[in-house]
Amino acid sequence: MMRRYDEMPKIKLPNAKDIKISDTTIRDGCQMPGIVMKKSHKLKIFEYLHDMGVEKLETFIYNDRDKDAARAMMDYSYDFPEVTGWARANPADIDEVLKVGGIRETGILMSISDSHIYDKMGLKSYEEAEKKYLNALQYAVDHGLKTRCHIEDTSRANYAFVYPFIRKCIEIDPHTIIRVCDTLGYGVPFPEEEEPYGIPIVVKKLKEIGVKHIEMHVHDDFGLGVANTLAGLWYGADWANLTFLGIGERAGNSELEKIMAFLITRVEGFDKYDLRTVTEFAQYMEDEVGLRVPRNKAIVGKNIFSHESGIHTAGIIKNPFTYEPFPPELVGGKRNLMIGQTSGTEVVRLKAEEALNELLGIEVHVEKSDSRIKSIHNEIQKMYDAEERRSSVSDEEMKDYVRKYFLYQVDGWEEELEERKAKKKLNLTLVNPEFMPLDGIPAAATSLTDKSVKKVKNGSSKKK
């Protein structure tokens, strides 16, 4: 049977036990136009990353602001994320990393594509680029740093230069992490595609030439960030470098929360990570860092556990597994059933029941076949037919519908009530055995009516 999350088979990833996550929200994420992070933001992000179990992060060290934040992060003395540096391929930049004190690893930017070497850097040849980059790597090693070689723009580079160059990097530092930077998102996850685009082939060949550690850093310009990062992991990379919410240059980076949620829920062996704070983390980014999180954003968007359409809500009410990829608790989220244009009667029944429970203070069960449910559904549908309403029906409005159809009628409600009493058609099923109906009318309802009728007559329960 496959009717529960724990009954679903998990995917096996050959090197699952070696895979680790590094974060670049505070580095590449900060490069996003419009994002300005204060030290307090960086520290809070650092804490959230710690809660999630992220192993490492990288940070700039170019000015006192950067250095101060890096030192403050290290002052937490957390085992993880390890705070690492970021430098261009210059001894001077590496000196800045060393000046922070306490940083044991740095990334070094080694721009590898022709346009980066010749146009951006103004270098005259591959040899000149190679000399500059290897010199910086040697300098970092000589100063006792662990290294990462950030091979920038690998997916638009000439591999007749890339592979021999990387061989020389691992001669200098056999344990260096080779970061495959898909800088403009040109990579593709298809195993048959060759260099420079094919991420699987690039990663496989790097392994073949003796690279021990490979990290994926993938931009999302063509929307393939997550697919390419996973392709890298599947073919032998052991690190994924990501940003929370995918913030970063242009279309951003591959999302930390997506990769982690995928690994935790779908792949064997990732219990070490914990995403229970990510919904709150996203809210923090919205409230404090000023980033708007789209409501349909995977994993953390407000809609991720919101359901409105008839078939979906009816399924969810019976078993949330039908239309939820994982339980909301896993990411600190909350299920939200709503009534809107595409809703059927089952969700109206549930929401009516909830409204009654709240209004009456007792547990009430309402049948889907109850004609009043149909009436409420019809009234709501008419509102959408008029094409004026653009939003869902709120819980407050639902209470008004329930007052109108279950507790009294707006026009002639007394007669209707008498008629129903006479016909004994006040057919709420009252689950609470202690509840004593008063002449067939729920007691709480009678005490509500005077006030509520006035409210309805004022028009506050009119269609919105």
Ligand X SMILES: O=C(O)CCC(=O)C(=O)O
Ligand Y SMILES: CC(=O)SCCNC(=O)CCNC(=O)[C@H](O)C(C)(C)COP(=O)(O)OP(=O)(O)OC[C@H]1O[C@@H](n2cnc3c(N)ncnc32)[C@H](O)[C@@H]1OP(=O)(O)O
Nearer to ligand X, 28 or 82 (CB): 28
Partner in contact with 179, chosen from ligand Y, ligand X, none, beta carbon below 5 to 8 Å by kind: ligand X
Nearer to ligand Y, 121 or 298 (CB): 121
Distances (CA, A) of 106 to 87, 193, 238, 353, 370: 7, 32, 17, 59, 67
User: According to CB under 6 A, which one of 41, 42, 116, 150 is a site residue for ligand X?
Assistant: 150
Nearer to ligand X, 149 or 337 (CB): 149
Interface with ligand X in residues 98-127 (CB under 6 A): 107, 109
Nearer to ligand X, 119 or 418 (CB): 119
Partner in contact with 90, chosen from ligand X, ligand Y, none, beta carbon below 5 to 8 Å by kind: ligand Y
Interface with ligand X in residues 7-46 (CB under 6 A): 28
Distances (CA, A) of 51 to 43, 46, 78, 203, 242: 12, 9, 11, 30, 16
Q: Binding segment for ligand X among 34-42, 91-99, 177-185, 431-439 (CB under 6 A)?
A: 177-185
Kindly calculate the radius of gyration of the chain based on its CA atoms and give it in whole angstroms: 30
Residue span 259-298 as binding mask against ligand Y, x where in contact by CB under 6 A, dash where not? ----------------------------------------
User: According to CB under 6 A, which one of 46, 48, 60, 284 is a site residue for ligand Y?
Assistant: 60
* Site membership for ligand X, residue 179 (CB under 6 A): yes
Q: How buried is 177 (Cβ within 10 angstroms: 0-12 exposed, 13-18 middle, 19+ buried)?
A: buried
User: According to CB under 6 A, which one of 50, 90, 193, 413 is a site residue for ligand Y?
Assistant: 90
Residue 275 Cα to chain centre, angstroms:
9
Which of 300, 299, 282 is CA-nearest to residue 291? 282
* Site membership for ligand X, residue 181 (CB under 6 A): yes
* Site membership for ligand Y, residue 34 (CB under 6 A): no
Interface with ligand X in residues 328-357 (CB under 6 A): none
Nearer to ligand Y, 63 or 369 (CB): 63
Q: Binding segment for ligand Y among 115-123, 222-230, 296-304, 375-383 (CB under 6 A)?
A: 115-123
User: According to CB under 6 A, which one of 25, 59, 113, 183 is a site residue for ligand X?
Assistant: 183
Nearer to ligand Y, 121 or 362 (CB): 121
User: According to CB under 6 A, which one of 120, 421, 425, 454 is a site residue for ligand Y?
Assistant: 120
Give the total of residues touching ligand Y (CB under 6 A): 16
* Site membership for ligand Y, residue 84 (CB under 6 A): no
Nearer to ligand Y, 215 or 346 (CB): 215
Cα 380 to Cα 374: distance, rounded to the nearest angstrom:
10
256-266 and 225-234 helices, crossing angle to 10°: 50
* Site membership for ligand Y, residue 89 (CB under 6 A): yes
Partner in contact with 217, chosen from ligand X, ligand Y, none, beta carbon below 5 to 8 Å by kind: ligand X
Interface with ligand X in residues 211-230 (CB under 6 A): 217, 219
Q: Binding segment for ligand X among 9-17, 176-184, 314-322, 424-432 (CB under 6 A)?
A: 176-184
* Site membership for ligand Y, residue 184 (CB under 6 A): no
List of residues contacting ligand X (CB under 6 A): 28, 107, 109, 150, 152, 179, 181, 183, 217, 219
The residues that touch ligand Y, with contacts defined as CB under 6 A, are 28, 31, 60, 62, 88-90, 109-111, 120-122, 152, 183, 249
